Amino acid sequence: MSEEKTFAPSAKRRRDAAQKGDVLRSREVASAIAVLIGAAWLKLAGPWLYDRLALAVRQGLSWDRSALEDFTPGAALLGLLRAMALPLLTLALAILVATVALQMAHGDGRWVAANLAPKGSRLDPLAGLKRMFGAQGWIEVGKGILKVTLLGAIAWAWAGSSLTGLLGLGRAASLGEALALAWQALVNLLFALSAGLVVIALIDWPVQWLRRQMRLRMSHQEMRDEHKESEGSPERKAAQRQRQMQYASGAVAKAMREAQFVLTNPSHFSVAMAYDPLKAGAPVVLAKGRGEKALAMRELARELAVPVVEVPALARSVYFTTRENQMIREELYAAVAAVLAYVFSLRRGEKRPLPPIEVPSALRFDAEGRVENRP
């Protein structure tokens, strides 16, 4: 019996699905963008297309004796195609760029080539019947009814406002004026239809997002498996452990044997410290490290029974302001003294919580060593 999938998909799950071609898709969004770009192109580049078309028509309808003696309709057609090629290519390029941008946006910024590969499941009759009569089929039927109703209403409203003018094109002062009026009416219709498609896309996109989220949901076992995988392979763990052992076998090991406590952040930074009033007037940093060195220091502290105290702000402050074998800054005396008192109480067998540790705002750093901005 399969485990119920109740967990939202992780970021890794979504990335892996996108690499396999399972990305957020909405044909309604693609259709709306294509029609909107087409309408905008006709609005902006319409005069250019009109001029090229008019030139091709004039050249095609210009006859002389040589044209009658050597009639070549193919050449005339080729001239018309050449005149129309460049404007139509710019329209196709604009739609292509928008389609690719949409694909990359849905694919987390990458081009998903798997979406172009043929899929045998699309040819499976049983899978096709399941799509037709399942939830997906009913959703598509609902979208189809919505599209027909909304776009039909838009076309009807456009016809009511433009049909009278179109029927009167024959009374226009010139052919150019009639064509301009017809062109403007067509552009208005495309903009109105694209607005309707945008409305449908705004409804369809959240539905497709929710369906993908449901499709990629994870079971508890899948969450555990992914967590184990993210921790790294045994080889990587062994290499990391070897580097930690190298840290533990050098000067760090000597410093840890002399340390009275270790400040941590809790794992990014480690600072081993000790205070001997006969040797120094303030606590001294014996060793410090970040990353793997910090983890090695924590391991050594556990082995040597050195108290590990998690005070992130103080650990970062000491790390960034004090070198090894150097006394801490005077501004940190009170904070480190409170930690020392807490450590000494633990050695006496007392069980009390760590008191609040105050670090001066000027000495508060983030993980990159930048002073934190505080009101």
Fill in the amino acid letter for 265.
Answer: N
- Give a yes or no: residue 222 inside a domain: no
In this structure, the answer to whether residues 299 and 347 fall within a common structural domain is yes
Q: List the domain range (segments joined by +) for residue 165.
A: 23-215
C-alpha span between 287 and 266 (Å, rounded): 16
According to DSSP, the residues that pair with 285 across neighbouring strands are 273, 326
Cβ-contact 365, 316 below 8 angstroms:
yes
- Give a yes or no: residue 369 inside a domain: no
pLDDT at residue number 71: 59
What is the distance in angstroms between the CA of the first residue and the CA of the last residue of the chain?
56
In this structure, the answer to whether residues 45 and 187 fall within a common structural domain is yes
pLDDT tens for each residue of 67-125: 556 656 666 667 667 767 777 788 788 888 877 777 666 655 555 555 555 655 555 56
According to DSSP, the residues that pair with 284 across neighbouring strands are 274, 327
Last residue of a domain, one of 164, 188, 215: 215
Examine the pLDDT at 318 and tell me if it is beyond 90: yes
Handedness of CA 121, 127, 133, 136 (dihedral sign): negative
Residue 65's SS3 state is helix
In this structure, the answer to whether residues 55 and 84 fall within a common structural domain is yes
DSSP β-ladder status, 284-290 and 218-219: unpaired
- Give a yes or no: residue 14 inside a domain: no
- Give a yes or no: residue 186 inside a domain: yes
In this structure, the answer to whether residues 112 and 201 fall within a common structural domain is yes
pLDDT tens for each residue of 330-344: 999 999 999 999 999
CATH number at residue 308: 3.40.1690.10
In this structure, the answer to whether residues 102 and 145 fall within a common structural domain is yes
- Give a yes or no: residue 289 inside a domain: yes
In this structure, the answer to whether residues 166 and 252 fall within a common structural domain is no
pTM assigned to the model: 0.47
Proportion of the chain above pLDDT 70, given as a percent: 70
In this structure, the answer to whether residues 240 and 207 fall within a common structural domain is no
C-alpha span between 222 and 220 (Å, rounded): 5
In this structure, the answer to whether residues 339 and 240 fall within a common structural domain is yes
- Ranges 165-179, 292-306, 356-370: which has the least confidence: 165-179
CA 128 from centre of chain: 32
In this structure, the answer to whether residues 207 and 297 fall within a common structural domain is no
In this structure, the answer to whether residues 133 and 238 fall within a common structural domain is no
Q: What is the 3-state secondary structure (H, E, C) of 271-300?
A: EEEECCCCCCCCCEEEEEEECHHHHHHHHH
Number of domains within the chain: 2
pLDDT tens for each residue of 186-233: 888 888 888 888 888 888 888 888 888 888 888 877 777 776 666 555
